[in-house]
């Protein structure tokens, strides 16, 4: 098999959302000492970019995009250490940590936003749902994401977005990370009132917002 | 993925078996006791030969129950409403409701100016072209009366222009017997022979009785003259409770039924086996102005009447209108074969091209309701796999089913964003306008061969000249 065919397979694996195949191809690159940057640029990243384009054009639906994003995430988890050695963060637009706040188990909105961000080329770390404020702060300190995205679906849990921002201030890391907030009860006004850096109404807006915030970092 | 399962369809009905029998009995009484006025001597003669009691002075035929029963036996329960392009043939009865392009409106809303004006033959052409793209559209009426054509032949212009511009089935009306030759000549020109006219049934006629209980002469004679060609006939009474029918929905349905049955008796005794579509187009009246209107009572009556059609084992057509949110629902869920129709506004007085697109979408929404839930798509395993928490977005079934319109219908016109929004109407109309523009600026579909078009033009020229001065 020639490299170009392999590269096409990498692209297709992400585009098709075939996580198992994407993982197998990522391992193959590492095992056979192939050109990792080329594989990422021309293979996997092209796949996720194409998935994003197809979504924008209405050809791809949300489930397709999620599968592509997860395949991409799986690839990144495998090649991450090797990429670090190659200053791999250059191929990313930035690192984003995303979580549904503590007390809130709603997963889907956060997952969709994470998928969109991944498809847009960000390095996304999904911390999960019902993530305690302390865990979020610890993560920010350790992993130093460029953006922290906080999701809340309930009026009773949206207040945790404010608590996290307060804790970031108290811990002295507020100026180290941009905070964007979202969720059904969340509004631009709310975001401003809690001193968040940005608010997006949906996943598409979230990508634009993330790009804007990254440019300020 | 798809397993053995059952489609749990959303259906509705309004009449019990006992009520259908009661309406039938009432109708027989109406036909036997009050009788029906036939202004056509030819019709009265046919009915007299059949055994009806004729009052020649009053032109009244009293039709005995046994004649009705015999006529019903002679009426085919199924036939194909043929199309110039056989791909659009519409077998009836149908397991899916099809739609008529509504007609024959006096007015139209000009697509370019937005101004209301009288309809023209060009409007017939444009509406037929747009209707061609309405995927639920089964048969076209000529959408407007062509005010720019001679009064004695405008209906022929409309009929033939519709046939030239859609390759689906076309139904229209003839006003006098002398017009039949022009229609038959055209059909022969398109299909090649009279035998093909009988076989293909690409055109049919709508037969409007005049409520209460009157058959006019011209249309009646014209259709009797068509009988040998087995052109399907759709009796389409339009009784209005309180005006041209008793002020009761039940009695209006009885009278509608009596008028349809009287038509069936006439055509089956004239030519046994004439294909009949049982029509129902009851209207309503505004009791202050007396103005004709179509509203909820109209559709309830149409539903009941179409059930009477099914009771007799006949294909059915009921009158309905489709708002954006799917006002076709009761009729679709009542398994009506055809709904008349799409493409009009202002109580079907005004044709609007955008409405063809919009109401086709309303038809899809009604269809989706009717299609219900399918247990063949039983993804129990997915629930076990995902378990508590998490989501199903990544499941293989989700990816496949998100593209299955049988399960999740996605409208490109009345999109999810538009439906239910405050400016739903404006946005949906704008989408529909885009689509109309695209169709009219695009290539014509299934065009007739030039020689046939030329022949049709010659036929119409002859009709314009030869029919002048003739009237009912």
Give the whole-angstrom CA distance, residue B118 versus residue B146: 8
Q: Which residues of chain A lie closer than 8 angstroms to B391, CB-CB?
A: 107-108, 111
CA B396 and chain centroid, separation: 42
Distance from CA of A47 to the nearest CA of B (A): 17
Q: Do A61 and B402 touch (CB under 8 A)?
A: yes
* ipTM, interface predicted TM-score of the complex: 0.76
Beta bridge mates, B340: B100, B319
Q: Which residues of chain A lie closer than 8 angstroms to B403, CB-CB?
A: 61
Q: Which of A192, A184, A8 is nearest to A112 (CA)?
A: A184
Does residue B394 contact residue A20 with C-beta atoms inside 8 Å?
no
Please say if the pLDDT value at position B1 is more than 60.
no
Residue range B378-431, pLDDT digits in tens: 999 999 999 998 889 989 999 999 999 889 998 888 888 888 888 988 999 999
Q: Do B391 and A70 touch (CB under 8 A)?
A: no
Residue A201, chain B, CB below 8 Å: the answer is: no
Residue A200, chain B, CB below 8 Å: the answer is: no
Residue range B145-171, pLDDT digits in tens: 999 999 999 999 999 999 999 999 999
3-state secondary structure of A156: coil
- Exposure string of B184-197, with b = 16+ CB inside 10 Å and e = fewer, is bbbbbbbbeeeeeb
* pLDDT-wise least confident of A14-28, A111-125, B152-166, B268-282: A111-125
* pLDDT-wise least confident of B31-35, B306-310, B327-331, B355-359: B327-331
Residue B398, chain A, CB below 8 Å: the answer is: yes
Q: Which of A62, A105, A129 shows the shortest C-beta gap to B393?
A: A62
Mutate to test the interface with A, among B390, B394, B411 (most CBs of A within 10 A): B394
Residue range B29-51, pLDDT digits in tens: 999 999 999 999 999 999 999 99
Angle among Cα A80, A85, A87 to the nearest 5 degrees reads 90
Give the whole-angstrom CA distance, residue B284 versus residue B243: 9
Q: How many CB atoms lie within 10 A of CB A65?
A: 24
Give the whole-angstrom CA distance, residue B171 versus residue B138: 10
Q: Do B398 and A17 touch (CB under 8 A)?
A: no
Give residue A210's pLDDT. 96
Distance from CA of B109 to the nearest CA of A (A): 33
Q: In the A/B pair of chains, how many CB contacts fall below 8 A? A: 31
Does residue B323 contact residue B365 with C-beta atoms inside 8 Å?
no
Q: Which residues of chain B lie closer than 8 angstroms to A108, CB-CB?
A: 391, 393
Q: Which of A17, A64, A111 shows the shortest C-beta gap to B391?
A: A111
3-state secondary structure of A169: helix
Give me the DSSP letters along B22-82. Answer: HHHHHHHHIIIII-EEE--HHHHHHHHHHT-EEETTTTEEE--HHHHHHHHHHS-S-EEE-
Give residue A88's pLDDT. 46
Give the whole-angstrom CA distance, residue A194 versus residue A131: 19
Mean pLDDT of chain B: 94
Residue range B72-111, pLDDT digits in tens: 999 999 999 999 999 999 999 999 999 999 989 999 999 9
Residue range A67-77, pLDDT digits in tens: 998 898 899 88
Q: Which residue of B has its CA nearest to A16?
A: B399
Mutate to test the interface with A, among B393, B398, B409, B415 (most CBs of A within 10 A): B393
Residue B389 has what DSSP assignment? Answer: S
Give the whole-angstrom CA distance, residue B400 versus residue A73: 22
Q: The pTM is what?
A: 0.86
Give, in order, the Cα–Cα distances in Å from A170 to each of A100, A134, A163, B373: 21, 12, 10, 54
Q: Which residues of chain A lie closer than 8 angstroms to B402, CB-CB?
A: 61-64
Please say if the pLDDT value at position A84 is more than 70.
no
- Exposure string of A66-87, with b = 16+ CB inside 10 Å and e = fewer, is bbbbbbbbbbbebbeebbeeee
**Percent of chain B residues past pLDDT 70, beyond the cut:** 98
Q: Which residue of B has its CA nearest to A59?
A: B403
Residue range B326-339, pLDDT digits in tens: 579 999 999 999 99
Residue range A136-188, pLDDT digits in tens: 999 999 999 999 999 998 898 999 999 999 999 999 999 999 999 999 899 99
Give the whole-angstrom CA distance, residue B143 versus residue B164: 14
Q: Which residues of chain B lie closer than 8 angstroms to A112, CB-CB?
A: 393
Does residue B259 contact residue B213 with C-beta atoms inside 8 Å?
yes
> B8: part of which helix (H) or strand (E)?
strand B7-8
Give the whole-angstrom CA distance, residue B88 versus residue B85: 6
Q: Which residues of chain B lie closer than 8 angstroms to A105, CB-CB?
A: 389
Residue A63, chain B, CB below 8 Å: the answer is: yes
Task: Please confirm whether the linkage preceding B212 is cis (ω < 30° from 0).
Answer: yes
Q: Do B403 and A105 touch (CB under 8 A)?
A: no
Angle between helices B65-74 and B249-270 (to 10 degrees): 70
Does residue B124 contact residue B163 with C-beta atoms inside 8 Å?
no
Give residue A36's pLDDT. 87
Give, in order, the Cα–Cα distances in Å from B49 to each of B45, B209, B230, B266: 6, 22, 21, 11
């Amino acid at each position: 098999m020639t490299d170009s065919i392999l590269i096409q397979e990498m692209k297709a694996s992400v585009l098709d959302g075939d996580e198992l195949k994407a993982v197998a191809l990522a391992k193959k690159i590492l095992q056979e000492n192939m050109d990792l940057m080329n594989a990422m640029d021309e293979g996997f990243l092209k796949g996720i970019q194409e998935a994003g384009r197809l979504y924008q054009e209405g050809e791809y639906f949300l489930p397709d995009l999620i599968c592509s994003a997860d395949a991409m995430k799986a690839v990144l988890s495998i090649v991450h250490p090797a990429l670090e050695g190659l200053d791999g963060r250059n191929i990313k637009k930035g690192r984003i940590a995303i979580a549904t706040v503590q007390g809130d188990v709603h997963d889907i909105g956060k997952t969709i936003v994470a998928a969109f961000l991944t498809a847009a080329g960000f390095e996304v770390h999904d911390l999960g749902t019902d993530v305690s404020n302390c865990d979020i702060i610890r993560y920010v300190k350790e992993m130093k994401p460029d953006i922290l995205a906080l999701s809340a679906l309930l009026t009773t849990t949206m207040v945790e977005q404010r608590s996290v921002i307060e804790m970031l201030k108290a811990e002295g890391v507020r100026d180290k990370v941009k905070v964007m907030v979202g969720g059904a009860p969340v509004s631009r006004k709310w975001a401003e009132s809690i001193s968040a850096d940005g608010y997006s109404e949906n996943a598409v807006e979230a990508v634009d917002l993330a790009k804007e915030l990254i440019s300020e970092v | 993925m798809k397993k053995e399962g059952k489609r749990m369809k959303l259906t509705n009905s309004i009449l019990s078996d006992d009520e259908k029998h009661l309406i039938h009995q009432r109708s027989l009484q109406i036909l036997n006791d009050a009788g029906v006025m036939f202004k056509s001597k030819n019709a009265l003669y046919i009915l007299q030969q059949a055994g009806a009691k004729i009052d020649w002075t009053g032109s009244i035929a009293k039709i005995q129950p046994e004649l009705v029963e015999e006529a019903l036996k002679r009426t085919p329960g199924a036939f194909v409403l043929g199309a110039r392009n056989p791909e659009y043939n519409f077998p009836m009865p149908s397991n899916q409701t099809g739609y008529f392009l509504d007609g024959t409106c006096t007015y139209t809303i000009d697509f370019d100016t937005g101004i209301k004006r009288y309809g023209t033959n060009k409007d017939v052409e444009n509406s037929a072209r747009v209707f061609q793209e309405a995927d639920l559209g089964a048969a076209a009426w000529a959408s407007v009366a062509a005010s720019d054509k001679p009064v004695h032949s405008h209906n022929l212009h409309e009929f033939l222009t519709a046939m030239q511009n859609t390759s689906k089935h076309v139904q229209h009306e003839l006003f006098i017997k002398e017009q039949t030759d022009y229609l038959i000549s055209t059909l022969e020109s398109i299909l090649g022979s009279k035998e093909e006219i009988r076989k293909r049934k690409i055109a049919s006629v709508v037969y409007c009785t005049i409520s209460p209980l009157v058959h006019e002469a011209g249309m009646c004679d014209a259709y009797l003259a068509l009988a040998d060609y087995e052109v399907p006939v759709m009796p389409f009474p339009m009784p209005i409770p309180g005006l041209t029918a008793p002020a009761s929905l039940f009695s209006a349905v009885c009278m509608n039924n009596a008028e349809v049955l009287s038509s069936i008796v006439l055509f089956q005794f004239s030519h046994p086996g004439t294909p009949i579509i049982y029509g129902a187009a009851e209207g309503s009246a505004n009791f202050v102005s007396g103005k004709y209107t179509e509203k909820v009572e109209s559709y309830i009556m149409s539903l009941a009447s179409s059930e009477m059609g099914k009771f007799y084992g006949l294909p059915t057509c009921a009158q309905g209108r489709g708002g954006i949110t799917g006002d076709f629902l009761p009729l679709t869920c009542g398994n009506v074969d055809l709904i008349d129709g799409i493409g009009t506004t202002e109580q079907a007085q005004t044709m609007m091209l955008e409405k063809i697109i919009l109401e086709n979408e309303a038809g899809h929404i009604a269809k989706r309701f009717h299609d219900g839930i399918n247990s063949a798509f039983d993804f129990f395993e997915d629930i076990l796999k995902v378990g508590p928490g998490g989501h199903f977005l990544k499941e293989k079934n989700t990816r496949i089913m998100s593209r299955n319109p049988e399960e999740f219908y996605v409208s490109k016109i009345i999109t999810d964003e538009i439906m239910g929004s405050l400016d739903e109407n404006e946005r949906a109309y704008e989408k529909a306008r885009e689509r109309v523009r695209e169709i009219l600026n695009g290539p014509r579909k299934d065009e007739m061969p030039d020689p046939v078009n030329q022949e049709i033009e010659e036929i119409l020229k002859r009709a314009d000249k030869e029919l002048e001065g003739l009237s009912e």
